Amino acid sequence: MRAAVLCLVAALSFAAAPSYAQLENENLLVGMPQGFKVGFQDSRNGMNMQEWVPAGETVQNWTEMITAQIFLQRADLDPVQFLATMAKQWAGACQGSKATPAATGKATGYASATMLLRCPLLASSGKPETTMIKAIKGNDSFHVVQRAVRSVPGEAQLARTKAYLETVSVCDSRLPAHPCLMPGASK
C-alpha cells in the first residue's frame, strides 16, 4: 500500500517539535509521536517523504506507521480527488477493501480532506491494514499525512488516529491567514 501512496514534500519543515517562530514560508506541521523513529526518508521528483515507525520496528516490518509527504509546487491537486484516487489504488491492491467518503474541512484555513481505508487482508504482508489519510492543499504545495496499522483497530485506536490527524496542519509565515502558531496559541 505504501507504493500506491508515495507522494510528499514542499518548502516544509517536518516538525516533530518545531520552533514555530523560526518557520519560514509554507510548512507541514506534523508531530512524531513519542516512541517513534524515522524509518525512511527521501526527496526526489518534487516529493519529500518521511516514514515513522515505533522504535524497534522497521519500514519492512511494522505494526504502525506514519507517512508524511509533500508534493512540491503541486497546489493544483485537490484533496478530495487525491483521496478518491488513493481509494481506487487501495481497492486494486486489496480485495474486499472499504473506504469511507472523504470528510472535508479546513486545516489552518487550507482546504483538506480525510478518509479511512480498510483492507481485510493485504497480500503483500498477509495481514489486515487500516489507514487514515489527511490531504491538505497549500498555496505552494500539496501535503499528505497518513497513519496506518497492520491490524483491525478498535474504536479507541481509530479515535486516537483521528485526533492525531486533526493536529496536522500547514502554515505559511508569509500569509497572516495561515499563521505558524503553536497549537492553542492565539494570533
Task: Summarize the confidence of residues 29-54 as an average pLDDT.
Answer: 94
Residue 52, in any domain of the structure: yes
Task: Summarize the confidence of residues 54-63 as an average pLDDT.
Answer: 95
User: Does 20 score more than 70 pLDDT?
Assistant: no
Cβ contacts of 28 within 8 Å, gap of 6 or more: 10, 12, 13, 14, 15, 68, 70, 136, 143, 145, 168, 170
Better-scored residue on pLDDT, 48 or 180: 48
User: Does 49 score more than 70 pLDDT?
Assistant: yes
Strand, helix or coil for residue 81 = helix
Q: pLDDT by residue (tens digit) across 75-128?
A: 999 999 999 999 999 998 888 999 999 999 998 889 999 999 999 988 778 889
Residue 13, in any domain of the structure: yes
Residue 179, in any domain of the structure: no
DSSP 80: H
User: Does 133 score more than 70 pLDDT?
Assistant: yes
61-70, 90-99, 129-138, range with the lowest pLDDT: 90-99
Better-scored residue on pLDDT, 7 or 38: 38
Cβ contacts of 54 within 8 Å, gap of 6 or more: 35, 36, 37, 62, 63, 64
Task: Summarize the confidence of residues 67-75 as an average pLDDT.
Answer: 95
User: Does 24 score more than 80 pLDDT?
Assistant: yes
Q: How far apart are CA 2 and CA 6, in angstroms?
A: 6
Residue 182, in any domain of the structure: no
Strand, helix or coil for residue 92 = helix
Residue 185, in any domain of the structure: no
Q: How many domains does the chain have?
A: 1
CATH of the domain at 30: 3.40.1000.10
4-13, 22-31, 52-61, 138-147, range with the lowest pLDDT: 4-13
Domain that holds residue 26: 2-172
Q: How far apart are CA 11 and CA 124, in angstroms?
A: 33
